Chains A and B, each alone.
Chain A
Amino acid sequence: MNYDVVIIGGGPAGLAAAYACKKEGVESILIIERDDKLGGILNQCIHNGFGLHTFNEELTGPEYAQRFIDKVINEKIEYKLNSTVINISDKLEVTYVSKNDGLCTIKAKAIVLCMGCRERPRGALNIAGYRPSGIYSAGTAQRLMNIDGYKIGKEVVILGSGDIGLIMARRMTLEGSHVNCVAELLPYSGGLKRNIVQCLNDYDIPLFLSHTVIDIKGKDRVESVVIAEVDENKKPIKGTEKEYKCDTLLLSCGLLPENELSRMANVEISRVTGGPIVNDKLETSIKGIFACGNVLHVHDLVDFVSSEASLAGQAAANFIKDNKKQGNTIKVIPSGGVRYTVPQIIDVDNMVDSITLRFRVDNVYKNKDIVLMLGEKELAHTRKRIVAPGEMEQMKVDKKMLEGTDLKEINIFLKEVQ
């Protein structure tokens, strides 16, 4: 089987990439999705707040997904459900398995990686205690409740104040469970302010910052969870232990881009983002393989996933139509509070007039300028009253800023407001 563009994953990134690719005139596109429907994680995100940037209205996850599913179906883009990709090669061969087709290999002219991310599991958190039932990652609990309709526990403790944990605190409260508290290891929450107020404060659920779970009791089912305050080295402080009788512990401790397939194709992965290193076309280190959405770096807003994925879809289409030689490249070097940028590389000769750098900071900072420098020359700056790791930032870079330079790097960092 041959396709021009194969898109791995039918979530928000895959749908937007496929649609954009089709709009650029590519006829032969295939989306491969392992679940039994398109839409990805949005299907279980039944709360509202999606689409303010894309559609200028507040949609729920399933509604947002359906808008893009309709576009894909109207454009008659081919997709396969219940089909799991098990290998991608650097020769752009995609191997998948499904009940209907068995084991199949497809040759593609370009591939867009849209596999999304998964949750950090208990095994990666080093929590002492037994391994009883009743411990869920927040997203698993969300799926069990919102798609399958189960009530998963009566007395709940949540570790981690990521947005999914906060959303689930409200969701479980509304369904009649009692959420005792949310414990967060860091001295600040990784979730959006709005979620802290509307998911915790609205229901008087306490948020304990600089706290972690130090013990889980109960052999068959969770019986209680012990939390304690931690010092600046994140070590539990003796005497601060609190024990909560409960039957359920939810873990909302971060998301990890799912790049096993990318590694099989020898795509170079960033140690900071956990996703591929890409250029301004969102092309990875392997020619013809593009990446977007949460597999590239974890986003807070699906709207930005959609716009990033459109870019990747267009770039894949352009790659097939006219395979331009790589031009003069510049690396984007983050420092001074900026943890990473996407893209990491800009191809100055082939870039469009203006691109968006997306990035995160490594701590909460107040009153800073975000500065972009080419050697000694300041290219741009934005003044921020506050920046936080939980909120992705962005900055425009124009082609005319970079044209004609011999330098190989631009630097981005935070600076005290002068």
Chain B
Amino acid sequence: MKTIEMTCINCPMGCALTVNIDGDNINVTGNTCPRGAIYAKDEVTHPTRIVTSTIKVTNGMRVSCKSEHVIPKEKIFEIMEVIRNTEVKAPVKIGDILIENVCDTGVNVIATKNIK
């Protein structure tokens, strides 16, 4: 059995959640609404995030970018390494795929800014 403490992010209450994990059995306490339990279960089973950063453009500018969908949290630094070593050619439009299937996550990194 494992116990994890976390803060709920659904509202300003910021309930202090305690998650007890016993095999497949996940028990959440400390939440004051159902959203807290859902959040805690997701966080301990498959935490995900959107990653945002910037990518070098050959014209010397930088284009801001994001993962098109959420990616597993533990892949963030691996993805950042790929983003850091990528360079793209101008022009770039919002939504253009800059890195396909980044780190085999099945998620693309796309542009969030227009660069002429």
Task: State the A residues within 8 Å of B (CB).
Answer: 43, 46-48, 58-60, 62-63, 66, 145-149, 174-175, 192-194, 196-198, 201-202, 385-388, 390-391
Contact = CB atoms under 8 A, between A and B. Distances in A.
Contacts, number: 74
Interface of B: 6-9, 11-14, 32, 49-54, 56, 62, 64-66, 73, 76-77, 80, 84, 94, 112-114
B50 A174 contact: no
Contacts of B9: 193-194, 197-198
A197 B94 contact: no
Given A47-B52, A146-B54, A146-B62, A63 B14 contact: no
- Residue in B11, B80, B113 whose Cβ sees the most chain A Cβ within 10 Å: B113
Chain B interface SS verdict (over half): mixed
Given A46-B66, A147-B62, 19 more contacts: A47-B52, A48-B50, A58-B50, A59-B112, A62-B64, A62-B112, A66-B114, A146-B54, A149-B54, A149-B56, A174-B76, A174-B77, A201-B6, A201-B7, A202-B49, A202-B73, A385-B13, A387-B12, A388-B12
A193 B76 contact: no
Nearest to B62: A149
The 3 closest A-B CB pairs, nearest first, are A46-B64, A62-B113, A194-B9
Contacts of B12: 192-193, 386-388, 390-391
A391 B53 CA distance: 26
Contacts of B84: 175
A197 B6 contact: yes
A289 to B, nearest CB: 33
A204 to B, nearest CB: 13
29 contacts: A46-B53, A46-B66, A46-B112, A47-B52, A48-B52, A48-B66, A58-B50, A59-B112, A60-B64, A62-B94, A62-B112, A63-B112, A63-B113, A149-B56, A149-B62, A174-B53, A174-B80, A175-B80, A192-B12, A193-B9, A193-B14, A194-B9, A197-B9, A198-B9, A198-B49, A201-B6, A202-B49, A386-B13, A388-B12
A391 B9 CA distance: 13
- Residue in A63, A385, A386, A391 whose Cβ sees the most chain B Cβ within 10 Å: A63
Nearest to B77: A174
- Residue in B62, B64, B65, B84 whose Cβ sees the most chain A Cβ within 10 Å: B64
Contact of B7 (A58, A147, A197, A386): A197
